[in-house]
Amino acid sequence: MKKMVMSIVAIGATTVLMAAVNAGACTGCHGADWSKAALGKSKVVSEMSHADIATSLKGYKDGSYGGAMKGMMKGQVAKYSDAELDAFSLTIGK
């Protein structure tokens, strides 16, 4: 019973964290199905692994990742915690 309760709590926490990230701001450039190279310069997010997405989002946030769109992306992810970015990364990619 304890394991089941903990699983439900973990699922609920992940759902809350995923909801905290505004995916609409992302899909404007990356496409509704994440299949566009944003402004013709980014990787195609739908082809990235969940781990690569999380690493890149957190890297944009701390300034250790990015190319031409580094400044724009830093502004997009700066307000989110690493836990929120990790949870969000699990909703896209492969």
**Residue 65 neighbours by CB distance under 10 Å:** 15
Tens of pLDDT along the chain (94 residues) come to: 555 544 454 444 444 444 578 888 899 999 999 999 999 999 999 999 999 999 999 999 999 999 888 999 999 999 999 999 999 999 988 8
Q: Is there a contact between 54 and 86 (Cβ–Cβ < 8 Å)? A: yes
Domains and CATH numbers, the chain: 2-89 (1.10.760)
Whole-structure pTM value: 0.77
How much is the pLDDT for 35? 95
* Nearest alpha-carbon partner for 90 in 40, 33, 17: 17
How much is the pLDDT for 22? 81
How much is the pLDDT for 2? 54
How much is the pLDDT for 3? 56
How much is the pLDDT for 69? 85
Cα–Cα distance for residue pair 39/28, rounded to 1 Å: 10
How much is the pLDDT for 5? 43
| Residue with tokens 């759902």, as numbered in its chain | 15
DSSP string across 64-81: SS-STTHHHHHHHHTTS-
Phi-psi region of 39 (alpha: psi -120 to 50; beta: other; left: phi over 0): left
